[in-house]
Structure formats: C-alpha cells, structure tokens
Amino acid sequence: MHARMDALKTAPFDLGSGEDACLLLHGFTGSPWEIRPLGEALAARGLFVRAIQLPGHCTTPEALLDVTHEDWTRAASEALLSLRGHRRVFVAGLSMGALLSLLLAASHPAHVHGLALMAPAIHFTGAHMWLLKRLRRHGLLERFKPWILKEGTDLSDPAALAEAPILPAFPSARLQDLWSLQDLALAALARVRCPTLVAMSQQDHVVDPAGGRLVAEGLTAAPKVRLLSMATGYHIMPRDVEAPRLLAEIGDFFDGVRQEDDAPEAAAAQAL
C-alpha cells in the first residue's frame, strides 16, 4: 500500500465572495494545493472561487484504480453547474485541468464566460512518455509497467518543491485516460466561444510548450485569445518563480472580460 497524501494541503476550497465566480481545476495526480495561489489572487479581486478534488485524487495511488477520464469530466461539469447562481463564471485549469476546462467551455458555452489554461497537457515531452505510449499501442503497458513511480513534481522553486504534496505513484492505466482527454480537448477547441488566456512555461519538463500555441491557434471561435509565454519556472506554474506575473495576468484578463461585459449595461444606464 502506498503512502497517503497530506489531507490538509490537498483539501478542496471555497474562497472569497462576489457576483462572479471562478472554478479551478488541478492537474493529473495533483491537488488543489497547486492552484491555491491563483484562488487567493482571484478572491482578492472580488470573485468567489471554488477548487475541487478530481475523483481518485488527493489520497492514495490505489484510489486512481477505479476512476476514468469520464469521472473527471463529470465532476468538473457538476462543479461548474454548482456555480450557476453567479452572474459570470470563469474556469481556470492547470495541465490536465486545462484540458477539462476546454471541454467545459465547449460543452457549456452559456455557462463559461472566460478561460485561463495553464500549461495545457496537449502534448507530453520526453522519451519516457513516448515509450509508454508505444507500450500501450502494443497492449503491453499495464502488463509490464502497472505502476508509474513519482519522486517529485516539476517546480524550479526549491521552497515550493519542499512543501509540495506528492502522490508517490499512479496506475499506468490512467495514462490512457490522459491520452483520451488530449484527443477530446483538441477536437473541442473550435467549439470554445469565450475569451481565453493560454499560459506556458518554456522550461516545462512535463508538457511541450509548443502545445500552447497549438491550443491558441485552434481557438478559432473564441472572441479573444492571449498566449502568455514564461521564460522561467516549470510545470506547476501557479507555485513557481513567475507565479506573481501569472496570477496578475490571469486576474487582469478576467477583469477585462468583466469590464467589457459591463460596458453596455453602463452605457444604457447613462442614457436613461
């Protein structure tokens, strides 16, 4: 039996208050700890923020044995719909959470008013993932490598790395779910109809930074797309060295959407 993650650090959270809200979605084998700094920053700007635990996450590796990407998509949809009482709802996701965010925006266009996609996991980097995908194609992945071990997470900031909650392993079967989400997210890009910010780190060791441009170019129906490239920091962007800039950029982007939406109402009120 593998070790359990720190329940306090990985807990879901609600922060702030306001007419507008933001749903935060963490990455594969990650937790709300990864995205809490963004939640705090958005709450300080007057948004209600909700971060959930995706099914099978935040406890033990064994908990991931009995879930699939459909469970993650369903949980994200339920969390989005739980915010229907708010005037506007934004969604921000990290890595796999960014893929789920894209699917939410494509499937619920009336409920998602803006997206922030941090290090979207469209394409993985490195020979290891390439080899694992080849094993899967030949039906050998789960037979020869049922568990993938993790010794750390992709952070350049040593202080953040020291306090990061780590899931020590995960079932290799869940990689198939990640690859399925990649395909679904790519197919959904053209159906996203809300302003979207895509942020990538050029030193990411988990996902290919070029995937961010691919995502941005595929958002052909989005009224506004901003591609943000970070020169330093690794994959867990909201916790790494350029986090202050990232949080400010996302906050400003969402504030801009809110102001643009409010402008016609303000003009109509002045005309009365």
Using one digit for the tens of pLDDT, what is the confidence trace for 4-39? 888 999 999 999 999 999 999 999 999 999 999 999
What is the predicted pLDDT for the residue at 130? 64
- CA separation for the pair 91, 192 (Å, rounded): 12
CA gap 265, 269 in Å, rounded: 6
Burial class from Cβ neighbours inside 10 Å (0-12, 13-18, 19+) for residue 62 reads: middle
d(CA 230, CA 187): 26
| Pick from 45-54, 126-135, 200-209, 234-243: least confident | 126-135
Domain 13-271: give its CATH superfamily.
Alpha/Beta hydrolase fold, catalytic domain (3.40.50.1820)
Selection from 146-160, 186-200, 251-265 with the highest mean pLDDT = 186-200
Tell me: pLDDT of 269 over 60.
no
